[in-house]
Amino acid sequence: MHHLLKRQLKKTGAIVDKAFLELVNQAYISADEDRNLLEHSLDISSKEMRDLYEELKRTTQEKIRRTEKRYETMTTALKDHYFFYAHDLEGDIVYVSNSIYDILGYSVDEFLQHYSTYLTDEKINENIDLITQKAIDGEQQDPYIISVYHKDKSVHYLEITEFPVYNEEEEIVEIEGIARDITSQYLIQKKLDYISQHDTLTGILNRLSLYNKLEFILSNSKRNHEHFAVLFLDLDNFKEINDSLGHDIGDLLLQESVLRIQSLIRENDIFARIGGDEFVIILTNIKENSISPITRKILYSFRTPFLLKEQEVKISASIGISIYPEDASNLQSLLKFADEAMYKTKEQGRDSFTYYRELHS
């Protein structure tokens, strides 16, 4: 019988039937066996739980170690292309990774102290302050490109991607960024863009770019009630010179002709080669009484012979002129009318100019 029950019965002096006592005793024995079995089971479960925990911890640590190793490998492999940085809410850079040295040649301390002086004066950098402020204000920003000086004074182009960092109160406390060196890709794309927009022989705009520029000029002139003139210029007897003296001389003649014309028009005017020896000049935002003087200067510039490979070459030009909005209000008509006026000049003896309106006067 269980010793606690024996003690209690003895204290009270109670007399209990022997059979009853045996039943109680068996119950206690059975309960002890169940308790021992439960304790044993709990011991086993506890050991299994500890083993599972240790295995999970070991596996997790191994995964973390492998992840860190992969990250370290990736960071090492990309250090020539990326660096990481952070700036505060004043826009001041407060952290930059060591890979700044591999990309731009500066130590961390050098960059943190003088980074603002490393920006170039290129137009691409004009909106940096505005973009930075938008990031600080929490606005999502697309990646953007900046140009900076390498320590060796060469220019590098970086693609910038920034992310806001929040505190527990969901307030932005700083901006973290990744800078990727895309110099090679950027320069290749810039060259491709240039080639697609410019005449390969003379370097001035091509036909496609002319149409794009004209669309903008037309829209701007309508909005601001401005006038512009379309000059269609063709070199007189160019084919004969090209055939008799050779294509090398012909190419040089085109290039030198372009240089003379460029020296006489304004920076905001448009100049394009649309094929062969045909050119279009757009005199933007101009008063009508200024068109003829500029056109005469262009024609007079051809009266000085060209010296090409020790050969003296003489050539003249014929020009036709249409004016927006007096002659037409759409691009196709303006170009067509200037072309018609140019052919009229050729019919009348070349080396001169004709206004489209004169064809119907």
What homologous superfamily is domain 82-189 in, according to CATH?
A: PAS domain (3.30.450.20)
- Mean pLDDT over 9-31 rounds to 57
Pick the CATH number of 198-360 from 3.30.390.50, 3.40.640.10, 3.40.1160.10, 3.30.70.270: 3.30.70.270
Q: Where do runs of H (alpha helix) occur along 79-114? A: 100-104, 108-114
Beta strands in the chain (DSSP E): 82-87, 93-96, 144-149, 155-166, 172-181, 228-235, 270-275, 278-283, 306-308, 311-313, 317-324, 353-355
Give the torsion through C-alpha atoms of 163, 169, 173, 177, to 10 deg.
-10
- The per-residue pLDDT for 15 is 54
Query: pLDDT tens for residues 221-240?
Result: 989 989 999 999 999 999 99
DSSP per-residue codes, 118-163: GB---GGGTTHHHHHHHHHTT-----EEEEEE-TTS-EEEEEEEEE
Q: What is the mean pLDDT of residues 250-266?
A: 95
Distance set, CA 127 to CA 82, 130, 149, 173 (Å):
22, 5, 18, 22
**pLDDT category of residue 263 using cuts at 50, 70 and 90:** very high
Tell me, what's the pLDDT at 53? 57
- Tokens (6 digits) for 98: 């060591």
Distance of CA 94 to the CA centre of its chain: 24
- How would residue 115 be classed by pLDDT, with cut points 50, 70 and 90? confident
- Mean pLDDT, the chain, rounded, equals 84
Which stretch of DSSP H or E encloses residue 7? helix 3-12
What pLDDT does residue 132 have? 85
Identity (one letter) of the amino acid at 319? Answer: I
Q: What is the pLDDT of residue 116?
A: 86
pLDDT band at 44 (very low <50, low <70, confident <90, very high): low
Residue burial 303-312, b: 16+ Cβ < 10 Å; e: rest: eeebebeeee
| Model confidence at 288: pLDDT above 50 | yes
Q: Report the alpha-carbon distance of residue 273 to residue 281 in Å, rounded.
A: 9
Per-residue pLDDT tens digits for 125-134 = 998 888 888 8
Question: pLDDT (tens digit, 9 = 90+) per residue, 312-346?
Answer: 999 999 999 999 999 998 999 999 999 999 999 99
Q: Work out the pLDDT band at 71, boundaries 50, 70, 90.
A: very low
Alpha-carbon radius of gyration of the chain? 43
**Token output for 323:** 């004016």
Q: Residues 273, 206: contact at Cβ < 8 Å?
A: yes
Mean pLDDT is lowest, of 18-27, 269-278, 308-317, for 18-27
pLDDT tens digits for 73-114? Answer: 555 555 567 888 888 888 889 998 888 999 999 999 999 999
Beta strands in 167-269 (DSSP E): 172-181, 228-235
